Amino acid sequence: MPYTCIVGLQWGDEGKGKVIDFLAKEHDAVARFQGGANAGHTVYANGKRYSFHLLPSGILWDDVIGIIGPGVVIDPDVLIKEIESLGDLKGRLFIDPRAHIVMPYHKLQDFLFESSSKKPIGTTKRGIGPANRDRYARIGIRIGDIFNEDYLNEYITRAYDFNRRIVKSYSHEFPELREILEYLRNFAEYVKDYVADVVVLLEELEKSGARILLEGAQGTYLDTNFGTYPYVTSSHPIAGGASTGLGIAPWKIKRVIGVFKAYTTRVGEGPFPTEEISEVGDMLKEIGGEYGTTTGRPRRCGWLDIPLIKYAVIINGCTDLFVTKVDVLERVGVYKAAVGYNINGRYSELPPLYPYEWEMVEPLYKDFPNWENMLEYVEKTTRTEIIFVSVGKEREKVIERKGG
């Protein structure tokens, strides 16, 4: 079967952009299945730094097709900017018309909710939550809704009224309907050449023997169902999300590569048992360059958390693992990881099930003489092989460990 899914096993920022870029050369297409412009994938190639939010990172290879599925929410401003930065992508980038649009009022609401809340989530303020709320409330605007003006004029009224009422409740101005329609008209004109039925496209690619990468954004513990709710994103970054986000039957995804960083980071609020609010945390942050690609926010840093990895490997059904940033740990010179937890007097090798237990987690650490030993421990615990070890930013800095 042609599909390989790449997923993050922590709270995002595992280095998936680099992994996808590294693997893309052996693939014909890369498809994104969830998230939106909240993602930030950094790729170093040809001596340049690229950062993508919406485009599949594999698009940097000229002969790779980029696909964006209905599970993704699309910010028109970001999409246009990224396409323009690479030149014309017609015939090489395909977007499903069932993908929802992140409207300017979604971004505004994300900002208003976050800045007025006593307990913010720490979102990227890219409108992801409000856009996906509208998706499930069945008032979302999809790309396929904007090409027929008569249809759109009638359809948009429910979304307009609902969103206007929310924004007005914050005593904030709301644009006129005609301004919103004008914005969508301009976007329709731009995006029309990129629209395709990705179900048909993927089937045709399958038939032609193409190899296709499925690119997850964020990570398992930001999944709406399986993450540290409510401190999560509004999508499904797990392998199952690839199936619903692109319309691919689950049984066709035979390979799932789980990506994790040799230590742990998190941006935004929420539980983080192995967090180091200490000099070590600062060292990891500085040496690892742990600042958000999307918002520039410093990431919270701490040791590798093996119970988290173990549980994420189960959720995603990982067939192989890819570890990144081992060089950062090498420079810090300490190889330490949580191998279990004391949760309120109970020993556990799995993350807590109940939200209030996260506060009670005391990580139990193990020191390893070197990273090779630490990775062997991860393999034993997860019963999954680590096939690649990334030891630097550039494409070439990857050690193939076993049958990679």
- Contact set with ligand IMP (CB under 6 A): 11-13, 38-40, 121-124, 126, 128-129, 217-218, 222, 231, 233-234, 267-268
Distance in Å, CB of 192 to ligand IMP, minimum: 28
DSSP 87-98: ---TTTEEE-TT
Matching residue, tokens 């390989």: 4
Residue 113: its H or E element: helix 104-116
Active-site residue flag, 13:
yes
* Cβ atoms < 10 Å from Cβ of 122: 16
Distance in Å, CB of 337 to ligand IMP, minimum: 21
Comparison of 75 and 96: residue with beta carbon closer to ligand IMP: 75
Comparison of 298 and 404: residue with beta carbon closer to ligand IMP: 298
Distance in Å, CB of 60 to ligand IMP, minimum: 18
Comparison of 114 and 206: residue with beta carbon closer to ligand IMP: 114
The radius of gyration of the chain's CA atoms, rounded to the nearest angstrom, is 21
Comparison of 233 and 384: residue with beta carbon closer to ligand IMP: 233
- The three-point CA angle 217-220-226 to 5° equals 130
Contact 20, 58 (CB under 8 A): yes
Comparison of 292 and 404: residue with beta carbon closer to ligand IMP: 292
Comparison of 4 and 38: residue with beta carbon closer to ligand IMP: 38
How far apart CA 284 and CA 264 sit, in angstroms, is 9
* Residue 77, φ and ψ in degrees, nearest 5: -65, -40
Burial of 191 (0-12, 13-18, 19+ CB in 10 A): buried
Distance in Å, CB of 303 to ligand IMP, minimum: 18
Active-site residue flag, 161:
no
167's tokens: 């924004």
360's tokens: 């009670």
Distance in Å, CB of 217 to ligand IMP, minimum: 6
Distance in Å, CB of 121 to ligand IMP, minimum: 5
Bridge partners, 323 (sequence order) = 260, 389
**114 CB contacts (<8 Å, ≥6 apart)?**
120, 121, 122, 123, 125
* Cβ atoms < 10 Å from Cβ of 354: 8
Cα 286 → chain centroid: 23
Distance in Å, CB of 122 to ligand IMP, minimum: 5
- For ligand IMP, the nearest residue by Cβ is 268
Contact 338, 364 (CB under 8 A): yes
Distance in Å, CB of 361 to ligand IMP, minimum: 18
- The DSSP bridge pattern shows strands 361-368 and 335-343 to be antiparallel
Residue 184: its H or E element: helix 177-191
Q: Which of 102, 20, 106 is nearest to 67 (CA)?
A: 20
How far apart CA 178 and CA 191 sit, in angstroms, is 20
Helix (H, G, I), strand (E, B) or coil at 63: coil
Comparison of 69 and 227: residue with beta carbon closer to ligand IMP: 227
Comparison of 296 and 333: residue with beta carbon closer to ligand IMP: 296
Catalytic residue from among 27, 41, 53, 236: 41
Catalytic positions: 13, 41
